[in-house]
Amino acid sequence: MTNVRQSRRLWLWYLPVLAVTCSFAGPFLWMLMTTLKTRVDTFAVPPKFIFEPTVANYEAVLNSEFMRSLGNSVIVALISTVFSITLGTLTAYGFSRYKFRRSDNVLFWILSLRMLPAVAVMVPFFLIFTSLKLLDTHTALIIVYSVFNISFAVWLLKGFFDEIPIELEEAAMVDGYGPWHVFRKVSLPMVVPGIATTAVFCLIQSMNEFLLAFVLTTRNATTGPVALSKFQSAVGVNWGEISAAAAMLVIPIAIFTIIVRNQLIRGMSFGRLR
């Protein structure tokens, strides 16, 4: 009796899960559907779920300025991810293995950068890059995104480094490794899954960032999201094209995730201290 009731209650828990899943996946699927619709079908009431698909939207986007912005987005996101992963790994290892005076406070200061609203640093960044003549360049965006991603990477990677048993490193030191080789040959290979996870997160954040890209770029270095917002023009919004462009923004992240997928999986089956 209790078992039946419990299983029924368990079943009830799936309702909110289903609701949340639908509310997340719904708009995305709707967007994918809109990419294949003609302009008339987009505004049909009631919404058409069976329609004749067209690729005209994708054709229009592929031949437009948007592709350059998408390229900019990928370049900026990749380079800033490489920067933040490199510096973040070294910093996280330092914080994880060496305690110095007030190291916890420094760590919290780094975390507080993560909480900082982008709007708060928008004005100073704009003024700094104006005087450095770096407005509307990739360099400016790479620097800004690295600032935000490093704090995130340090925190995530410190957790991964903390999980490595110190005994492994001590054993390596007994065998004659110096501090650098301990890091390079013992610790680093063990956090590769963590690095992959962090890289995916950093990439997604850099690709999604809108405000700073919107402020710091005008024409040459516009990123994907900014170009997307420019599809809204005074003569109206072409929802088919805007959805096609948005769908294309998903592709680079999907490709990157597939590339690092093997690393992510390896993290689960990686043998630790036995």
Partner 1 sequence: MFCVHTFPPLLALLFRTIDTLKLFDSIYIMTGGGPGDFTQNLSVMVYKIGFTYFQVGRAAALSWIMVIVVNILATILIRYLQARPGSEVSS
**Interface contacts to partner 1, rule CB under 8 A:** 104-105, 108, 111-112, 115-124, 126-127, 158-159, 162, 210-211, 215, 225, 229, 232
How far CA 251 is from CA of 44, 175, 209, 245, in Å, comes to 28, 46, 16, 10
Please state the closest distance from residue 108 (CB atom) to partner 1, in A. Answer: 6
How far CA 143 is from CA of 81, 125, 162, 256, in Å, comes to 11, 10, 28, 21
Query: Partners of 236 in the beta sheet?
Result: 233
Q: Which residue has the tokens 């030191």?
A: 173
What six digits make up the tokens of 219?
Answer: 């024409």
> Which of 148, 146, 87 lies closest to 121, judged by CA?
148
What is the identity of the amino acid at 259? I
Please state the closest distance from residue 120 (CB atom) to partner 1, in A. Answer: 4
Please state the closest distance from residue 128 (CB atom) to partner 1, in A. Answer: 12
Please state the closest distance from residue 122 (CB atom) to partner 1, in A. Answer: 7
Please state the closest distance from residue 82 (CB atom) to partner 1, in A. Answer: 25
Q: How far apart are CA 246 and CA 202, in angstroms?
A: 19
Asked if 272 contacts 189 with a C-beta cutoff of 8 angstroms, the reply is no
Helix axes 103-115, 138-163, angle to 10 degrees: 130
Asked if 225 contacts 252 with a C-beta cutoff of 8 angstroms, the reply is no
What is the identity of the amino acid at 120? A
Please state the closest distance from residue 229 (CB atom) to partner 1, in A. Answer: 5
Asked if 230 contacts 160 with a C-beta cutoff of 8 angstroms, the reply is no
Q: Of 36 and 169, which has the nearer Cβ to partner 1? A: 169
